[in-house]
Chain A
Amino acid sequence: MKTLHLKKMIALGLGAVLVAGVIAGCGGEKKKAGAEAGKVYRIGVLQLVQHGALDAANQGFVDGLAARGYKDGETIHLDQQNAQGDQSNLKTISQRFVNNKVDLIYAIATPAAQTVANETKTIPVVGSAITDYEAAKLVRSNDKPGGNVTGTTDYIPPKQQIDLALTLIPQAKTVGALYTASEANSQVQVKAMKEYAAEQGLTVVEASVANVNDIQQAVQSFVGKVDFIYCPTDNTIASAMANIAKIAVPAKLPVFAGDETMVRTGGTAGVSVNFYQLGFQSGEMAADILAGKASPAAMPVAAQKEAKVIINKEAAAAIGLTIPDELLKAAE
């Protein structure tokens, strides 16, 4: 009897939570339905994980929409969601967006976009922080997506990093590629880098890591073996740039990184993606879709409008790199 009583209480408590959820849900829907008369567009934002670059892509999107007159709480309602790295949550959040019949979904990072694209073929999806839309089967082709998905790519041809490295260190013979094995975007970039390095007569030494804990040893393995280190835009590597600098700077190893924040937090130089700028462009694309000026099917996947050379002057000085004046003027 007592067991039964306790079970009833638990069941009741659980029921109460569910009812509360339903009520909260309905209340929200009513509010939104009323607001829709005044043309408030609902936008679902799905971010894979909390992370500097992805946060910047998120903020850029919000600002990009605002710049076009779509301000949160006024003409649009943003539903911000983050799966916190747990991929099982992506599905639940995507379904919530589809069920709420949002007008547009902004997906940050590849698995987020794939989950959303699998859930809806009609709601426009704008992506960001995705390297290869075609390989992820998000679009039929990067120039002509053909479906409901488009967005901005964080791909900057590794050729530009290598060219920059060779300008600064013309005598370089070997390059160490440092990346995370589990990140599809890194693999794409490293593959392209290897091809270009071969053309330039450079030898490539690879070191891939599984997580942040492996990075120290991976960098250590480069010391004495390579002339400079190449890092693609890679989430794991990005979060450990300070750690990399700790080994690379005393060893006088320049580090060329593909993302602005990576250069600022420990890299030496790079032709860099600015994730805020990318998100901003995605926001502008979303604004065009909401305004009915464009459809995702006909909107090519966009790259960052201008890629800047970023130089970390302190790191460059510590390594003893001399930077040509004209480059220093053009760079940030």
Chain B
Amino acid sequence: MNDLVISTIAQGLLWSVMAIGVYLTFRILHIADLSVEGTFPLGAAVAAVLLEGQHSPAAAILAAGIAGMLAGAATGLLHTKLKIPALLAGILTMIALYSVNLRVMGKANVSLLNTDTVYTSLEFLHLSPNMTTFVVGLIAAVVCPALLYWFFGTEIGLALRATGNNPQMIRAMGVNTDNMILLGLVLSNGVVAVSGALIAQSNGFADVGMGVGTIVIGLASVIIGEVLFGSRSVKNALISVVLGSIVYRIVIAVVLYLGMPPNDLKLFTALLVAIALSLPLVKTRLDSRKAGI
């Protein structure tokens, strides 16, 4: 039982890195960036191919991040330079990445069983596999938000946040909002690709189909986190996303544990996200009714 709890939280921590990427575009820039469904497997593919070629896990994860950033730049350029709506630009990149991912891997599935990964490199700690995943997840879920938190405090970071909140104002102050959107997409997709690299190593394979549904998982984590743990400040919001991702994994684990018919799982996920999305509205309604009385 304990093991199941640790492994579920570990999964939540690993996926939280992806959710933070989604948070960056969805909440800071107010863009639902669908390219993550392509950059997530892209990160996995790049990392898997490098690991297969005996490169170090650190190099593999770094390369995955850079590949994700390039993909994010593609979406950004399509959106800002060619004026393609953000949603469509994301979809275009996502579709293109499907072929790119197949090219990178040379096949549809690269196995990482019996390959040195970031998890096997921690074997000297003599932890159980679940604890190792937990440790890696914890490091990723602390380092990634911490770096972003620092970045959002810098001048460029503040400009990026303002671009999402009030583009007219920030343009009036002489900031090029296109560059800020581009930067946001680059960062977001880099983070998502790193998460893909970490999860592929944890699962034992990279598969071209592993990106399916990532945007839903990301949005669900962001929204569940916001509703349950608040989003008063950037720091608070980043922590909320990580916790939201863990809660999402717990819910899925409990649902599977209770033996929900598998065919209903997707419906349940959709319901969960819908409920989380509508909670703020329910809250306001409740509050106004109470105030009325």
Contact = CB atoms under 8 A, between A and B. Distances in A.
Do the two chains belong together in a single complex?
yes
Contacts of B258: 20-21, 24
Contact of A22 (B1, B263, B265): B1
Interface residues of B, number: 55
Nearest to A48: B209
B108 A182 contact: yes
A88 B265 CA distance: 12
A233 interface: no
Contacts of B247: 14
A115 B109 CA distance: 12
A300 interface: no
A182 B208 contact: yes
B8 A111 contact: no
A137 B114 contact: yes
Contact of B1 (A2, A3, A99, A137): A99
Interface SS majority for chain A = helix
B262 interface: yes
Contacts of A136: 109, 111, 113, 205
B257 interface: yes
Nearest to A95: B7
Contacts of A111: 109, 205, 207, 209-210
Interface in A148-194: 181-184, 187
A87 interface: yes
Given A84-B263, A114-B205, A182-B98, 10 more contacts: A82-B265, A84-B265, A92-B252, A98-B3, A111-B209, A114-B203, A115-B205, A118-B204, A136-B205, A181-B99
21 contacts: A14-B247, A47-B262, A50-B263, A86-B212, A86-B266, A88-B213, A91-B202, A92-B256, A95-B3, A96-B257, A99-B1, A114-B111, A114-B204, A118-B112, A136-B109, A137-B112, A137-B114, A138-B111, A181-B99, A182-B98, A187-B107
Interface string B101-143: 0100001110111110000000000000110000000000000
A82 B112 CA distance: 23
A93 B279 CA distance: 29
Nearest to A10: B228
B227 interface: yes
Interface string A75-107: 000001111111111111101101100000000
Contacts of A24: 257-258
What 3 pairs across the A-B complex have the smallest Cβ distances?
Answer: A118-B204, A82-B262, A21-B254
Nearest to B4: A99
Interface SS majority for chain B = helix
Interface in B260-288: 262-263, 265-266, 279, 283, 286-287
A21 B287 CA distance: 31
A7 interface: yes
B253 interface: yes
B274 to A, nearest CB: 15
A85 B207 CA distance: 12
Contacts of A210: 95, 98
B254 A138 contact: no
Q: Determine the interface band of chain A, counting residues with CB < 8 A from chain B.
A: 35 or more
B81 interface: no
B249 interface: yes
Contacts of A90: 203
B250 interface: yes
A90 B202 CA distance: 12
Nearest to B258: A24
A92 B253 contact: yes
Contacts of B130: 95
B156 interface: no
Contact of B212 (A22, A47, A87, A181): A87
A181 B102 contact: yes
Nearest to A87: B210
Interface in B1-59: 1, 3-4, 7-8, 11, 15
A168 to B, nearest CB: 31
Given A3-B283, A182-B102, A184-B108, A84 B262 contact: yes
A119 B102 CA distance: 26
B108 A181 contact: yes
B290 interface: yes
Nearest to B211: A87
A35 B285 CA distance: 51
Contacts of B279: 10
A162 B247 CA distance: 52
A184 B107 contact: yes
A89 B252 CA distance: 8
Interface in B172-223: 199, 202-205, 207-210, 212-214, 217
A118 B102 contact: no
A6 B283 contact: yes
B241 to A, nearest CB: 17
B251 interface: yes
Contacts of B262: 47, 50, 80-84
A267 to B, nearest CB: 23
Contact of B253 (A3, A6, A96): A96
Contacts of B217: 88
Nearest to B255: A21
Given A2-B287, A99-B4, A93 B256 contact: yes
Interface in A1-58: 2-3, 6-7, 10-11, 14, 17-18, 20-22, 24-26, 29, 47, 50
